[in-house]
Amino acid sequence: IAHLPSLAQSYFAHAIAPGAPLAGAVRLRMHGSIRLRRWHKFKAVQVITRDSAMIWRASVRMRIASIRGYDRFVDGRGSMKWRLFGVLPVVCAAGADVTRSAAGRVAAESIWLPPMLMDERVHCSTDGSGVAHADVTLAGHPAELRMTLDHGRLRSVGLLRWGNPDGGPFREIPFGAYVDQEATFGDYTIPARVRVGWYFDDPSRFDADGKFFEASVDGAVYR
């Protein structure tokens, strides 16, 4: 990391223990709340790989039912499939818009697998205000991560992500996560409690309309 800006160096030095092997994948266990019109509790397992594959498999508890399924980005394609009681189809989506949105999500969630951001194809820079920029391209979809750091500790990550949270046309919308707590799992120190949502450039709108996901990481295994 010696060739990187000092701010980026501080991030990697904080996130990865000295001498640690660079992991190719992480398996996360998490729980929290997700907003599907109303807020509902969930439990999930997620796998992210250094070659940019991701699958998030969860069970969401509704009032009298549960929805189980997955979001994924595999072989450069995004898709999601959710079923009521794990049987009756609720959501099944794929295609160009889903793929482009999923690519942005994986770029943002690289904060859970820091070696992804050490790839030689990732360009890191800083703007002198405590914000590190990482230019990432996944399956042909570019994203610029803006990572707010405090002595190497990640405070927030934001980017323009393809989406339509208001039900309108898909477009680039400010998206991101606030990191409320971090934890160390083996050789890696990562965000352990996050608030995630759209309209990340407007804090009041983020809280009122954009935030849809709050999660706590219960465990992380790196390989």
**Phi, psi at residue 176, to the nearest 5°?**
180, -175
pLDDT band at residue 136, thresholds of 50, 70 and 90? Answer: very high
**Phi, psi at residue 112, to the nearest 5°?**
-90, -10
Q: What is the pLDDT of residue 127?
A: 83
Question: CB of 188 within 8 A of CB of 114?
Answer: yes
The per-residue pLDDT for range 34-90, each reduced to its tens digit, is 999 899 999 999 999 999 999 999 999 988 889 999 999 999 999 999 999 777 888
Q: What is the pLDDT of residue 90?
A: 84
Q: b/e map of 31-52 (b: 16 or more CB within 10 Å)?
A: ebbbeeeeebebebebbbbbeb
- Expressed in angstroms, the distance from the first to the final Cα of the chain is 21
Tell me how far apart the alpha carbons of residues 214 and 84 are, in angstroms, rounded to a whole number: 22
The per-residue pLDDT for range 117-131, each reduced to its tens digit, is 999 899 999 987 889
Question: CB of 90 within 8 A of CB of 84?
Answer: yes
User: Quick one: CA torsion of 181, 184, 188, 193, rounded to 10 degrees?
Assistant: -20
**Residue 22 pLDDT > 80:** yes
**Mean pLDDT (the chain, rounded):** 96
Q: What is the pLDDT of residue 185?
A: 98
Q: What is the pLDDT of residue 129?
A: 83
pLDDT band at residue 167, thresholds of 50, 70 and 90? Answer: very high
**Mean pLDDT, residues 142-150 taken together:** 97
For residue 130, the 8-state DSSP code is S
Count Cβ atoms below 10 Å from residue 196 Cβ, excluding itself: 22
Residue corresponding to tokens 């965000």? 191
Q: What is the pLDDT of residue 100?
A: 98
pLDDT band at residue 142, thresholds of 50, 70 and 90? Answer: very high
**Mean pLDDT, residues 1-12 taken together:** 95
CA angle (25, 81, 84) in 5-degree steps: 120
Model confidence pTM above 0.85: yes
pLDDT band at residue 160, thresholds of 50, 70 and 90? Answer: very high
**Mean pLDDT, residues 2-15 taken together:** 96
Chain-centroid distance, C-alpha 196 = 8
Question: CB of 2 within 8 A of CB of 25?
Answer: no
Tell me how far apart the alpha carbons of residues 84 and 89 are, in angstroms, rounded to a whole number: 6
CA angle (73, 138, 134) in 5-degree steps: 125
**Residue 215 pLDDT > 80:** yes
Q: What is the pLDDT of residue 165?
A: 96
- Nearest CA to 58 out of 66, 70, 47 is that of 70
